[in-house]
Amino acid sequence: MSALLEASGVSVDYHRRGAPALRAVDGADLSLARGEILGLVGESGCGKSTLGRAVVGLLPAAGRIRFDGHPIVPLGRRRRAPGMRGLQMVFQDPYASLNPRRWVGDQVGDGYLLGGASRREALRRAGELLERVGLPADAARRYPHEFSGGQRQRIAIARTLAAEPSCIVADEPISALDASAQASVANLLVDLVRELDMGMVFISHDLSVVRQIADRTAVMYLGRVVEAGPTQELWSSPAHPYTRALISAVPRADGAGVLPVELPGDVPDPARPPSGCRFHPRCPLARPECSRDDPPLVVLRDGRSAACVLQNAGEPARPLADSTTHIGKDAT
Partner 1 sequence: MGALLEVEDLTVWLATRRGPRMAVDGLSFQVGSGEIFGIAGESGSGKTMTAMALLGLLPHAARTSGKAVFEGRDLLSMSARQLRAVRGRRIAMVSQDPSTSLHPMLSIETQLTEHMRHHLGLGRSEARGRAVELLATVRIPDPEQALGAHAAQFSGGMRQRIAIAVALACEPRLLLADEPTTALDVTVQAGILRLLHRLRAERELAVVVITHDLGVLSAVADRICVMYGGRTAEVGPRENVLTRPRHPYTRGLLDALPHPEGGAAALRPIPGSPPSLGEVPEGCPFHPRCGYAVPDCRTERPAPVLVEPGHASACPPDPLGGIA
Question: Which residues of the shown chain bind ligand SF4 in the complex (CB under 6 A)?
Answer: 240-241, 277, 279-280, 283, 285-287, 290, 295, 308-310
Q: Count Cα neighbours of 108 within 13 Å in the Cβ-side half-sphere.
A: 34
Among 233, 243, 236, CA closest to 282:
243
- Are the C-beta atoms of residues 278 and 268 closer than 8 Å to each other? yes
Scanning 37-45, 63-71, 153-161, 302-310 for contacts with ligand ATP by CB under 6 A, the matching segment is 37-45
Scanning 44-52, 96-104, 150-158, 161-169 for contacts with ligand ATP by CB under 6 A, the matching segment is 44-52
At its nearest, how many Å lie between ligand ATP and the CB of residue 160?
19
- Burial profile 136-155: b = 16 or more Cβ within 10 angstroms, e = fewer: eeebbebebeebebbbbbbb
Q: Which of 48, 152, 244, 278 binds ligand ATP (CB under 6 A)?
A: 48
The string of DSSP codes covering 229-271 is EEHHHHHHS-SSHHHHHHHHT----SSS-PPPPP--S-PPPTT
Among 244, 248, 213, 245, CA closest to 231:
213
Scanning 43-51, 138-146, 260-268, 292-300 for contacts with Mg ion by CB under 5 A, the matching segment is 43-51
d(CA 238, CA 242): 9
Q: Residue 205's binding partner, choosing from ligand SF4, Mg ion, ligand ATP, none, with beta-carbon cut-off 5 to 8 A by kind?
A: ligand ATP
Q: Residue 48's binding partner, choosing from ligand ATP, ligand SF4, partner 1, none, with beta-carbon cut-off 5 to 8 A by kind?
A: ligand ATP
AA identity, residue 153 = Q
C-alpha of 7 from chain center: 13
Name which of 105 and 150 has its Cβ closer to partner 1. 150
45 binds ligand ATP per the rule CB under 6 A: yes
Q: Residue 115's binding partner, choosing from ligand ATP, partner 1, ligand SF4, none, with beta-carbon cut-off 5 to 8 A by kind?
A: none
SS3 of residue 279 by DSSP: coil
Segment 238 to 297, residues that bind partner 1, using CB under 8 A:
245-246, 249-264, 266-267
At its nearest, how many Å lie between partner 1 and the CB of residue 149?
8
Radius of gyration of the chain (CA): 21
Q: Residue 92's binding partner, choosing from partner 1, ligand SF4, Mg ion, none, with beta-carbon cut-off 5 to 8 A by kind?
A: none
The mark string for 185-224 relative to ligand ATP (x by CB under 6 A, - otherwise) is --------------------x-------------------
